[in-house]
Chains A and B, each alone.
Chain A
Amino acid sequence: MPAPTQLPPPTRGLTAIAGAMSLIAVLLIVQVWLLSAALESFLAGHRESALPAAVFSGVMFLICLGLYVFVDRVDQEVRRPDRDR
């Protein structure tokens, strides 16, 4: 009889997904604030803050993208039909 595959329990995968989604939500809120602050600053005539705001927003988007890839993989793993065999 072959030894059962050592997989993390599904609840751990779901916890990881919930954590990643929460982090994405927090990053999104920061991005919304950053966009409104950059717009306010631009309209007030301070154009020097536009570049750092765009860079930070891009970094946060990349982190969100990485977390999405992570969620996608873990979700596929949790839903795999042969996982509990």
Chain B
Amino acid sequence: MRWFGRASSEPLWKEEFSVRTADERYVTRRQLTKFLVLTSLGMFVGNVWIFIRSLFYRAPAYPRQTVAKLGEIAVGQVKLFTYPAPDDHCILVRTGENQYVSYSQKCTHLSCAVYYSQSNDRLECPCHQGFFSIKDGSVLQGPPSRPLPRVILEADGEYLVATEVKA
């Protein structure tokens, strides 16, 4: 009796699930082009997002904060402090008898902490050898593409006061 038998020689699972893996993975030209165009849309949305962020950007109000006492550190020495928030680490360098400079300690490449190299007279990032000028924080060498944000200092009596951070 072959009333319930199958005439085909193919296995039952192949007849009932006739989707081939190779066909399923095949990407047509139209699919690939659609994917590329959607990626292009994503890039455009990213640029629009940056533009909207720039429209609503408000410069933060920086507090005045005493950083150090004048003469507290020797020439060529540094002092670490946080400004304006407790998580924003900064470095103060005394470059001359009456000269002080201060920068954010966060490398603009991947946020490693930079340190002052007295022998080379520059700020150095140990992670990827990014070097910054001690004069203005500009990039001298390495992967960082932006200068270090500078902390603006003022002398207030016998104290150095941080007043602002300039990117």
Name the interface residues of A33-85: CB closer than 8 Å to any CB of B.
Answer: 34-35, 38-40, 42-45, 47, 50-51, 53-54, 57-58, 60-61, 64-65, 67-68, 71-72, 75
On whether the beta carbons of B145 and A24 are closer than 8 Å, the reply is no
- Residue of B40, B46, B54, B166 with most partner-chain A CB within 10 A: B40
Chain A, residues 1-21, CB within 8 Å of chain B (1/0): the string is: 000000000000000010011
- Residue of B28, B46, B146 with most partner-chain A CB within 10 A: B46
Residues of chain A at interface, number, CB under 8 A: 34
CB contacts between A and B, total, < 8 Å = 95
On whether the beta carbons of A31 and B40 are closer than 8 Å, the reply is yes
Residues of the A chain whose Cβ atoms lie less than 8 Å from the Cβ of B37: 24, 61, 64-65, 67-68
- Say whether B127 faces chain A, with CB atoms less than 8 Å apart: no
- Say whether B30 faces chain A, with CB atoms less than 8 Å apart: yes
A55 to chain B, nearest CB (A): 9
- Say whether B19 faces chain A, with CB atoms less than 8 Å apart: no
On whether the beta carbons of B33 and A68 are closer than 8 Å, the reply is yes
Task: List the A residue with the shortest CB-CB distance to B166.
Answer: A45
- Say whether B36 faces chain A, with CB atoms less than 8 Å apart: yes
Residues of chain B at interface, number, CB under 8 A: 27
Residues of the A chain whose Cβ atoms lie less than 8 Å from the Cβ of B141: none
On whether the beta carbons of A32 and B43 are closer than 8 Å, the reply is yes
Once bound together, how far apart are the Cα atoms of A51 and B147, in whole Å? 23
On whether the beta carbons of B145 and A28 are closer than 8 Å, the reply is no
Residues of the A chain whose Cβ atoms lie less than 8 Å from the Cβ of B40: 24, 27-28, 31, 60-61, 64-65
Residues of the B chain whose Cβ atoms lie less than 8 Å from the Cβ of A58: 44, 47-48
Give B contacts to A, CB under 8 Å.
28-30, 32-34, 36-37, 39-41, 43-44, 46-48, 50-51, 53-54, 57, 108, 145-147, 166-167
